A and B are shown apart, each in its own frame.
Chain A
C-alpha cells in the first residue's frame, strides 16, 4: 500500500518546495470531533502531528467536544464566528447545521474521493439530499448482537436468528441473578438505535413514505414495539436509564447474557475476560429470519470554512486521512468500533495490523459483513428527509418506547401518538 502512495508524497513535497512559504502563510484549521476518550484523542493527535509534519503550510489542531453539548455549542459558535473548520457528524446532526446556513455542498469532493477509494453507498446516501452532499463519510458503526458462546452453550441455547428464538434464549439466560438480554429504555440515542434495529428487522425500517409523509404508525412498527417491550422483562431493572456504557458494563461483568451494541471488543478485552474465542457476535435476529438488518451510523466530517483557502486545506486533510495507510490507524483509535466506509480502507494493512484487530479478526469481519445491511431511520431507500433531525434530536423512537414500557400505554396507541409527535416536531 505504501508503495502506491509514494508518488503522492513526492508530489506533495515538490509542491511544498515550490511554494515560498513562511510561517505566517500557514493555514490554521480547527477540527472538532466528539471522540473524547483520551486514547482516541491521543491517536488523532498522532495523525495530526504526522499530517502537520508532512504539510508545512497547514496546521490542523483538534478540539474534542462532547455529543451532549455540541448540539448547543456548534450552532452558537458558528453564529458567533468562532466555530471549527471541520466538524464530525452523524447523519442527524448535519441537517441542523445545514439549516443555520453553515454548510455548502461537497458533492464534487465526495465524488472525487469516491472515484479513488469507493465509498459504501449507504454512507454517502445518509448525507445526500436537497441536491447536494453535505459531508464526507469517514467511518461506519453498526449494531450487532454480542454474546459469549460458552454461556449460550452452558444454557443449551443456539445463537438466535428469529425473534421467537431470541425471546426464548433471553428467557433461558435470565437466571441466577443474570439477565438474558440487556436492552435500554432510556430517552436517549442508544435506545433510538436499539429500537430502530428491532424495527428494521420487523419490516418497519421506513419511517417515511416516498412523498415525505410519515408512515411510522403502521402494524409492523407496533409489532416491533410490542416485541421490544416484551424483551425488556429479561433486561436489568436499571435499563431505563442506560446509555451504551451501562450496557457494556452489564455484558462485561457477565450480568447480561446478550446485548445490542456497536462493539464491545475493547471493553471486553480490557474490563472482562478478554478471551477472543469466547466473544460471539451475530446479526440482530429478525422477525422471520429472512434477511437481517441493523442500524448503521455513517459518521462523517462537515467542512465549514467560508474561507476558500481554509476549505482547500480542509480538503487536503480529508484526502490525506482517507489514504489507506493513514485511514486504518484513524479507524483504530477505538479498535473494533469504527469500521471503514471505503473499499480500499476495508482492505488496508493499517487497519488489519492493529494488535486488537488481529486478535478479534473473526468478530470484526462479522461486524463489517453485518454493516452491509445497515440502514438509518429517516435515511433509507433514498427517502431522505432532513426533518428527521428534529425527530432524532428529541429521541421520539425512545420516547415512544417509554410511553409503553414506563407509562404502560398500549403499543398501538403509543405509536400513533409517536407519529403525531413527529408531525408536531417537523411542522
Chain B
C-alpha cells in the first residue's frame, strides 16, 4: 500500500505521540526505581538515571511481604477468571444460540448489572460476608470480582457466538450430540478468541481491584498487590524510591503474563468485540 509522504509523517507523529504517552511514564517509573533517593525528588528530573542503586528493591523485599501479595493477587485473579468463564460461557451460549421465553428480559437484566455503581454495595456486602464468615478471605474477593466482570464478559461473548453458522451446530446436533457436548466440542473451540478476551478482561479486573480488597481483607497475609502497595505509601512520610520499586514490581507480573496472552487478547477483542 502506498502512502503519500505527508500521511506517513502524520502517522509517525501520531505513533510517536502515543508511544510517548503510554511508555514515558513507565520508563520514568522503572528508571526512577533504581535512582538514588535525592535524584528521584530532584528539582530537575533526569530522563536517564545518573545514579544506580537496588536499595529500594532490597528494602521492599526485605521488609514487606510483596511476594505474598503477588501470590494472593495471582490466586484471586486466576480463580476469578476461571469462575467468570464457567458462568459466562454457558450463559452466552444460551443467550445467543437458543431461543426461550424471557430471553431478552434476562439479557437486559445482565446488562443492567453492568451499570451498577459498585460503591453502592460495599457496605451491605460487607455485612452479608460477615454473616457467612467470608470477611478476610480471598473467596470474598473472587466473588466480588466475578460479579463485576461477568456482565461485560457475557456481552463480549455475544458476537462470537452469533458469528457461528447455524449449520455447524445443526450438524453436530443431528449427530446426536447433547447440548453440553455441542457446547464443549464445537462451540468452545470456535469462540476461543472470545474466551481469551474474556479471560484477560476478568483477570485484569481482578488484578487491579482496590476498594473492596482494601476493606474486606484484614490480615496482611491475604492482601493483594494493590492493597499491599497502598500499604507502603505510608502516612507521615513517603519513600518515593520504595514506591517506585513497588510500582515496578506490581507492573512486572501482568507484563510477563501479557507477553504470552496479549496477542490472543487483542485478536479476540478485535475479531469480535463490537458489531
- Residues of A whose CB lies within 8 Å of any CB of B are 32, 34-39, 41-42, 62-69, 72-73, 76-77, 79-82, 141, 177, 243-246, 248-249, 252-255, 262, 266-267, 270-272, 334, 337
Contact = CB atoms under 8 A, between A and B. Distances in A.
A255 B38 CA distance: 12
Interface string B223-245: 00000001111111111111000
Contacts of A334: 236-237
Nearest to B42: A253
A64 B214 CA distance: 12
10 contacts: A37-B242, A38-B60, A63-B218, A68-B230, A73-B215, A77-B218, A80-B127, A245-B236, A253-B41, A253-B42
A76 B237 CA distance: 27
Contacts of A79: 127, 130
A38 B242 contact: yes
A37 B38 contact: no
Contact of A36 (B40, B136, B234): B234
A216 to B, nearest CB: 26
Contacts of B41: 249, 252-253, 271
Nearest to A80: B130
Contacts of A270: 37, 239
A62 B219 CA distance: 8
Given A38-B62, A79-B127, 8 more contacts: A36-B231, A37-B239, A66-B231, A69-B214, A79-B130, A248-B237, A249-B240, A272-B38
Given A66-B214, A249-B240, A41 B63 contact: yes
Interface in B107-150: 123, 126-127, 129-131, 135-136
Contacts of B237: 37, 244-245, 248, 266-267, 334, 337
- 5 interchain residue pairs of minimum CB distance: A245-B238, A38-B63, A80-B130, A271-B37, A38-B64
B38 A253 contact: yes
A190 to B, nearest CB: 9
Contact of B236 (A73, A272, A337): A337
B215 A76 contact: yes
A36 B127 CA distance: 26
B59 interface: yes
Contacts of B135: 77, 80, 82
B266 to A, nearest CB: 35
B220 interface: yes
A248 B214 contact: no
Given A38-B59, A69-B215, A81 B130 contact: yes
A323 to B, nearest CB: 25
B43 interface: yes
Given A252-B41, A253-B43, A37 B232 contact: yes
